[in-house]
């Protein structure tokens, strides 16, 4: 039990906080909520009226009473109340359905919107499988919570209040006292045991999310698993998490049985006490048979829903625990937020300037150290350097996935921190090093750059990216589904889809982030032609691995250890015989070896 605090959060404080978080999503439906509660109360009034009618019928038909007349009015009233109870319940359900499902939809949309607002660092650290399961359980629990509140807990409380009031008014105070003590004992016992059981549910959730994360990770990395023959290792990890889930689930179920036995004992004691009291009243002539029937019917009506209160409370706690994980995500503040006075970027020529930019992902490991350079409007500037020099970080900072630690980045003399992220990203197009595609058609993937683009515009972009002919050679053409994460396309084909996207977006500023690093020479030449088509009349930042791809750049920056150590044209840099010349020589030797290896 020493680790209980790590498994079980402070439920009471958190429960109220979670319920408060749900309130804004219900406010829009407040009229429907009030109407549903009105129908709920009317249904319970009708329900409590049924035993009163039954008492009247029994007393009217009592053989000791010589007026043996069929109590037709009471019988019709009995039937009418039964119908009214059912009718008001159904009306309550119909009115509340929109609240339940509408709130669930709004919460789901809000969570996804927030996840898209959270910064890149959060998404690089998150576990997709686990968070998707948390959100799925959380949104489902919104519906469950409202269900339990309106269909179980509130009706039971209304019924308890009405029945206790009638018993107090019409009979000895002891009936109400015993009923009240039984109900309070029952609720206290249920709440305490359920609180104790909650740690098993929390552990179940954690194990379930972990197992789901492991399963999805192993499937996403299917090829890697196969390369190393690690299927048994993946299954063992998955099974270990599921074994923890199974252990917690079994403890949860067995403790539920203990809870049910305790509840049944309290109900049996309360019902027996009241029935002994009522039967004594009949024997002594203080109560009629109708009164005995009435009290018995009241107890049945009271304790049958109370019997489910334990399960409902436990499910309610589970729903709140599930919701809490989801609302925790909503409480995470985005690392990158628009400034309160942020305005849309005013694009003129598209000049980009890095002014003494310093940055570190981790304070202990600086990536960029006072980097300064300018890309004049319409010019093509390339950045080269060894791996880990900080080249790709430049693109992430320009997109404002992270904020600089020192200095600033300006577009047309506007600090990118002072403009809205939406307008900033609308002005920049990127062909990334690793193109990830949606599991949808090629038409959808290219058109994703501008969702309102016509099919003709999509085809034109594909032609400029040298991929149109390949697409129309496929049996389904532009309606070919590329497969999850673009697995059905080669590296070069995926890069050309990314270039077509960039062309279709037609931004003022283009970034090519090592867009040809994983391609063979033939593919590279096709891509280079596509890149030149895309880059015409654009301000272009090229982050390059292969120097042969950027020899025609207006300016080349050489980075090493987070600093710019050389800059100039290809010819100038070769003449300096420095870092660039050395990198050029190494790559030339590599290419010669490859060519020599291909000659028979």
User: Can you give the three-state secondary structure of 460-478, one letter per residue?
Assistant: HHHHHCCCHHHHHHCCCHH
Q: What single string gives the DSSP state of each residue in 328-387? A: HHHHPPPSS---TT-B----SS--EEEEEEEE-SBTTB--EEEEEEEE-TT-EEEEE-ST
CB-count burial class (<10 Å; 0-12, 13-18, 19+) for 486: buried
- Give the whole-angstrom CA distance, residue 251 versus residue 272: 32
Any idea which residue has 């000049």 for tokens? 351
| 110 backbone dihedrals φ, ψ, rounded to 5° | -65, -40
Please give the pLDDT value at position 120: 77
Instruction: Report the CATH fold assignment for 4-331.
Output: ABC transporter transmembrane region fold (1.20.1560)
Dihedral sign for Cα atoms in the order 525, 526, 531, 536: positive
CB contact at 8 A, 403 and 336: yes
Q: What is the pLDDT of residue 91?
A: 92
Please indicate whether the domains covering 4-331 and 352-598 agree at the CATH topology level. Answer: no
Query: What token pair was written down for 252?
Result: 């949860």
pLDDT at residue number 444: 93
CB burial class (10 A; 0-12, 13-18, 19+) of residue 194?
buried
Identify which of 526, 120, 591, 583 has the alpha carbon closest to the alpha carbon of residue 382: 583
Strands (E) across 427-503 are located at 428-431
pLDDT of residue 459: 94
Q: Report CA-CA distances (Å) from 318 to 8, 44, 515.
A: 12, 27, 48
What's the pLDDT at 527? 67
pLDDT value for 358: 94
Order across the sheet with 428-431: list the strands. 428-431, 509-513, 539-543, 380-384, 555-560, 563-568
pLDDT at 472: 92
3-state secondary structure of 65: coil
Lookup result for tokens 């309610």: 316
Return the closest-CA partner of residue 263 out of 176, 193, 173.
193
Q: What is the pLDDT of residue 409?
A: 95
Query: Per residue of the chain (600 residues), what is the pLDDT tens digit?
Result: 333 333 334 445 566 777 777 778 888 888 988 898 899 889 888 888 888 888 777 777 765 554 555 677 778 888 888 898 899 989 988 888 888 888 888 888 888 888 888 877 777 776 666 677 777 878 888 888 887 777 777 888 888 888 888 888 888 888 888 888 888 888 888 878 877 887 888 888 889 888 998 899 899 899 899 988 899 999 999 999 999 999 988 988 888 888 888 888 888 888 888 888 888 888 887 888 888 888 888 877 777 777 676 677 767 777 887 788 788 888 888 888 888 999 999 998 889 999 999 999 888 888 898 999 999 988 889 999 887 778 889 999 999 999 999 999 999 999 999 999 999 999 998 888 888 888 889 999 999 999 899 999 999 999 888 889 999 998 889 998 887 555 578 878 888 898 899 889 888 898 988 766 555 666 666 766 766 766 677 888 989 877 888 888 899 999 988 899 999 999 898 888 888 898 888 888 877 776 666 544
The CATH number of the structural domain formed by 352-598 is 3.40.50.300
Hey, where are the domains in the chain?
4-331, 352-598
Which H or E element spans position 567?
A: strand 563-568
Radius of gyration (C-alpha) of the chain in whole angstroms: 36
Question: Sign of the C-alpha dihedral, residues 349, 354, 360, 363?
Answer: negative
Burial of residue 153, with CB atoms counted within 10 A of its CB: 0-12 exposed, 13-18 middle, 19 or more buried: middle
Q: Contacts by 568-572 with C-beta closer than 8 Å and gap 24+?
A: none
At residue 552, the 3 state secondary structure works out as coil
| pTM of the model as a whole | 0.67
């Amino acid at each position: 039990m020493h680790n209980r605090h790590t498994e079980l959060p402070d439920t009471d404080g958190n429960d109220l906080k979670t319920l408060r978080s749900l309130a804004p999503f219900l406010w829009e439906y407040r009229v429907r909520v009030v109407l549903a509660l009105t129908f709920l109360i009317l249904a319970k009034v009708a329900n409590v009226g049924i035993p009163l009618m039954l008492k009247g019928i029994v007393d009217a038909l009592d053989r000791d009473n010589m007026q043996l007349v069929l109590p037709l009015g009471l019988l019709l009233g009995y039937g009418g109340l039964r119908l009214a109870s059912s009718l008001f319940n159904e009306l309550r359900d119909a009115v509340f359905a929109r609240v339940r499902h509408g709130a669930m939809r709004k919460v789901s949309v809000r969570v996804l919107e927030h996840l898209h607002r959270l910064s890149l660092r959060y998404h690089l650290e998150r576990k997709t499988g686990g968070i998707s399961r948390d959100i799925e359980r959380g949104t489902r629990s919104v519906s469950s919570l409202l269900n339990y509140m309106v269909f179980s807990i509130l009706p039971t409380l209304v019924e308890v209040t009405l029945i206790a009031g009638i018993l107090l008014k019409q009979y000895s105070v002891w009936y109400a006292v015993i009923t009240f003590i039984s109900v309070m004992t029952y609720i206290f016992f249920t709440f305490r045991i359920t609180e104790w059981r909650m740690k098993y549910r929390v552990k179940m959730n954690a194990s379930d999310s972990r197992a789901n994360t492991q399963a999805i990770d192993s499937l996403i990395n299917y090829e890697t698993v196969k390369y190393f023959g690690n299927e048994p290792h993946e299954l063992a990890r998955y099974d270990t998490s599921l074994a923890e889930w199974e252990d917690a689930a079994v403890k949860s179920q067995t403790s539920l049985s203990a809870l049910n036995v305790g509840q049944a004992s309290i109900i049996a004691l309360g019902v027996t006490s009241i029935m002994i009291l009522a039967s004594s009243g009949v024997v002594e002539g203080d109560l009629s048979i109708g009164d005995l029937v009435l009290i018995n019917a009241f107890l049945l009506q009271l304790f049958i829903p109370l019997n489910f209160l334990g399960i409902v409370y436990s499910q309610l706690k589970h729903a709140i625990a599930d919701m809490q994980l989801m609302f925790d995500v909503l409480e995470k503040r985005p690392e990158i937020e628009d400034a309160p006075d942020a305005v849309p970027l005013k694009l003129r020529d598209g000049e980009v300037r890095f002014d003494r930019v310093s940055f570190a992902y981790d304070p202990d490991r600086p990536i960029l150290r006072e980097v300064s350079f300018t890309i004049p409007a319409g010019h093509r500037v390339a950045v080269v350097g060894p791996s880990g020099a900080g080249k790709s970080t430049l693109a992430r900072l320009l997109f404002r996935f992270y904020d600089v630690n020192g200095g600033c980045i300006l577009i047309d003399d506007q600090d990118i921190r002072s403009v809205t992220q939406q307008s900033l990203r609308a002005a920049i197009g990127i062909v990334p090093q690793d193109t990830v595609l949606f599991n949808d058609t090629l038409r959808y993937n290219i058109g994703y750059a501008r969702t309102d683009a016509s099919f003709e515009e999509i085809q034109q972009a594909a032609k400029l990216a040298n991929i149109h002919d390949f697409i129309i050679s496929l049996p389904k053409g532009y309606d070919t589904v590329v497969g999850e994460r673009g697995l059905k396309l080669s590296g070069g084909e995926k890069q050309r889809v990314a270039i077509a996207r960039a062309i279709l977006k037609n931004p003022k500023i283009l970034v090519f982030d090592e867009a040809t690093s994983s391609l063979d020479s033939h593919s590279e030449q096709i891509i280079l032609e596509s890149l030149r088509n895309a880059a015409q009349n654009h301000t272009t930042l090229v982050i390059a691995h292969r120097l042969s791809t950027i020899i025609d750049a207006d300016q080349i920056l050489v980075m090493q250890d987070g600093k710019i150590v050389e800059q100039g044209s290809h010819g100038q840099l070769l003449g300096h015989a420095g870092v660039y010349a050395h990198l050029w020589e190494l790559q030339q030797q590599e290419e010669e070896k490859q060519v020599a290896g291909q000659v028979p």
